[in-house]
Structure 1
Amino acid sequence: MAHPQPLSRPVGCAVVTVSDTRTVESDRSGQILQTLLTTAGHLVHDYRIVPDEPDRIAALCQTLAQRADIDCILLTGGTGIASRDTTYDAVAALLEKTLPGFGELFRQLSFAEIGSRAMASRAVAGVYQAKLLFSLPGSSKAVTLAMEALILPELPHLVSVLQT
């Protein structure tokens, strides 16, 4: 089967920052996600900050996945191993298909930048209700790396695959 052509339209996105302490003003990673997406020609239809509580993260992802204008949900924060880092657990339980290559490649790229500390990242991606879902660390450098090296180059293609 031939690969579908990348989308000829902007990808509709939702940006979610998972944090107990960040505000709209202090949320640098959420701002970076929005800027990179819009600069690449995509649309940010929703932006929220949610506490690092698994039930609230899962409920928000479920709500966003129901929206016809959203093709991709990008979360930042809560992917480490601290007791309050629960984003991975909430997201992994939702995913119907995982993209293991995303986490593997992200940690490989992170290792080149920060060394062995990259192993503590639980960045993950996959498909939930026919939507792409990416869960990124809260670090602005990590968000920029993941977006520029992995997500933005493939986003239109991945969305087009889901829509065929």
Structure 2
Amino acid sequence: MTTAMILTISDTRNLTTDKTGLVISEQLTAAGIAVLDRQVAIDDIVAIQYQFLAFEQRLPDLIITNGGTGIAQRDVTIPAIQPLLTTVINGFGETFREISYREVGTRALASRAMAGFNVKNQLCYCLPGSTNACQTAMTKLILPEYEHLLTERHK
């Protein structure tokens, strides 16, 4: 069974108020993926890396973050996670922004959503904090393709 962990990056949410992380969890569970843990970290590079690396050590197949992928000064998810990825899947971010453009117009340009593999060959996704954006990413990109990406990586 495929396993996943979800990390929400936010200065204002906690596990109780984290609607986006809950929606991601529900979609993963509905797809037969076991969600092993869901946590919230503040918008701080060290806090994000600490929780991400703690998840990594527990060896899930997928690590999905949400929040902090924009261009505001407080949005530090990408600078925190990108150095921890050994392989970035450029097509994920490109395609996500293309799909988002159709839904929200030029505001999609500010998204730095990305995907890649870390040193333990876990498939990692960095998604925006918007619940709608995460639903789009889950239904149109992640759920249809994660098995293929994991299979290709483990060949």
TM-score (norm 1): 0.91
**Structure 1 residues 151-160 or 113-122, which shifts more?**
151-160
Conserved 8 A contact 1:131-1:162: no
Query: 1:161 Cα deviation (Å)?
Result: 2.4
Which of residues 123, 144, 151 in structure 1 aligns to 2:113? Answer: 123
Q: Secondary structure at the match of 1:96?
A: strand
Instruction: Find out whether 1:46 has 2:55 as its counterpart.
Output: no
Structure 2: segments with no counterpart, 5+ residues: none
| Structure possessing the higher radius of gyration over alpha carbons | 1
Distance 1:154 1:11 in 2: 13
| 2:9 alignment counterpart | 18
Contact 1:124 1:136 in 2 (8 A): yes
| 1:75 maps to amino acid | T
For these two proteins, the number of residue pairs brought into alignment is 154
1:1-164 aligned at under 5 Å gives the runs: 10-68=1-59, 70-129=60-119, 130-164=121-155
**Post-superposition offset of 1:23:** 1.7
> What's the RMSD between the two structures over aligned residues?
0.9
What secondary structure sits across from 2:16 in the alignment?
coil
* TM-score, with structure 2 as normaliser: 0.96
| Cα distance between partner residues in 2 of 1:127 and 1:88 | 14
Percent identity, aligned pairs only, is 41
